[in-house]
Amino acid sequence: MRLRPALHDQYIARTVSLTVLGAWGVLLGLDVVMAFAGDVGNIGKGSYTASHAVVATLLSVPWRAYNLFPTAAVIGALLGLGQLAATSELTALRALGLSRRRLSVSVAIPLALLTVLMVANGESLAPWGDARSQAVRSVRNPNLVVAQYSGLWAREGGMFLNARDGQTRQRGDDRWLELRGVRLFQFAADGRLQSVANVEVAEHRPGGWLLRGVERTTFGEKSVQRTRVAEERWQSSLDETVLEASVTRPRTMGSRELARSIEYRKRNGLQASEFEEVYWGRWFYPLNVLALCLAAIPFAFGTLRSGGYGKRLFLGIVFALGFYLLQRMCVQLAGIYHFDYRLAYAVPPALMLAISWGLFRRRSG
């Protein structure tokens, strides 16, 4: 008697796992092909070649797999359970005394294991690969380099800019890019270092940059002079959009780095919403996957029994798309009205679990 439930668990887990992995492979393959096709148009920009496009796309695969797994999980679970329902195997298992809740546990176990692997991927391989992918794509702009430990490097003529980090800030309708920990290196035409400027904050404003807290060291032929000014203007044509995309990438950080960045920004009165969104999204990721799949399971005991493959696929897409849109709406509202992101991420899975519970009770009645 103890062996039968284990065999049932193994059979359901194998069926669901295969369909989830199959759906995951199809979605990931399509996403990778579309990403590469979209990147082909960038070949030839700067020193960007076809091999760069291939490497950049492959490095982004772990991140794409992480993002697509919830959708693949619900589609694969519905396809697997629909297959069991269509062949009356779920009915047979119910006849052996297994309740709907017990069968749901059998489905949740393999999904939980895959989710754990994806959580580990989201904390290690996915951020690493995405950061390397962005670094490879940076060769499209020969005057821009993104380094892992030394921040952003950009060049304009004989001026080299290095920034530790930065973010986009907004006050009313006024929006600007702010770089912190900036160093400016000015070189002469013969390669001689003319000056080094340490800048506390650099703000991109219409017509150029506003530098605050500037301490400059100027090197003459036989002298060194140091000056300090509260602020000064720097007329530069550096592309704000490119710089913004290079310095604001919280998704390439692990949870610990995100937590430190959030604490640093709050301590210094800076906006941290973009980092909080990614941080709490990582924490709620496992709950989202399980809630989404559990909410879809009750359909296997009735709706999917008489439906074909297309119906199951359609339901899976509807569930995944509806959940995604609901969560994005809640997260965006949290950003606009400045309420806790934990509440924004908790509402959609709680709603899905409530739907699942209501459907279970209705079908059990």
Higher pLDDT: 237 or 2? It is 237
Residues 128 and 272 in one domain: yes
pLDDT given at position 108: 84
Residue 60 token pair:
């982004």
Strands 193-205 and 174-187: antiparallel
Average pLDDT over residues 176-185: 85
Query: Are residue 9 and residue 128 in the same domain, yes or no?
Result: yes
pTM: 0.70
Confirm whether 332 is domain-assigned. yes
Of 79-88, 90-99, 251-260, 309-318, minimum mean pLDDT range: 309-318
Same domain, 125 and 169: no
Check residue 66 and give its pLDDT: 94
pLDDT band at 205 (very low <50, low <70, confident <90, very high): confident
- Cβ burial of 63 (10 Å; 0-12, 13-18, 19+) is buried
pLDDT at site 133: 85
Average pLDDT, the chain: 80
Based on the fold, state whether residues 12 and 61 are members of the same structural domain: yes
Return the DSSP state at 147: E
Cβ-in-10-Å burial (0-12, 13-18, 19+) of 18 comes to middle
Least confident of 9-13, 85-89, 222-226: 85-89
Decide which of 166 and 246 is more confident.
166
The whole domain housing 171 covers 145-238
Name the one residue in this structure whose structure tokens are 């530069």: 236
For residues 146-163, give the mean pLDDT: 71
Is the pLDDT assigned to residue 232 strictly greater than 50?
yes
On whether residue 334 sits in a domain, the answer given is: yes
Does residue 300 or residue 178 have the better pLDDT?
A: 178
Q: Please tell me which residue, 109 or 95, carries the higher pLDDT value.
A: 109
β-strands 224-234, 159-171 pairing: unpaired
Are 105 and 44 part of one and the same domain? yes
- Element (H or E) spanning 333, and its range? helix 309-337
In terms of DSSP bridges, do strands 151-156 and 159-171 run parallel, antiparallel, or are they unpaired?
antiparallel
What are the structure tokens assigned to 234, written together?
């720097």
pLDDT beyond 70 at 148: no
The sheet carrying 193-205 orders its strands as: 144-147, 151-156, 159-171, 174-187, 193-205, 208-219, 224-234
What amino acid occupies position 256? R
pLDDT at 24 over 90: yes
Query: CA–CA separation, 134 vs 42, rounded Å?
Result: 13
Same domain as 307, residue 220: no
State the burial class of residue 324 (Cβ atoms within 10 Å of its Cβ: 0-12, 13-18, 19+): middle
Confidence of residue 361 (pLDDT cuts 50, 70, 90): confident
Question: Do 120 and 28 share a structural domain?
Answer: yes
Share of the chain above pLDDT 90, in %: 22
In the chain, the number of structural domains is 2
> How far apart, in whole angstroms, are the C-alpha atoms of residue 223 and residue 296?
75
Q: Which long-range contacts (CB under 8 A, 24 or more apart) does 357-361 make?
A: 359/295, 359/298, 359/299, 360/100, 360/101, 360/298
Q: Which pLDDT value is given to residue 34?
A: 94
Q: Considering the domain boundaries, does residue 255 fall inside one? A: no
To the nearest 10°, the Cα dihedral for 342, 126, 72, 284? Answer: -10
The answer to whether residue 248 sits within a structural domain is no
Residue 14 has which token pair?
């194998």
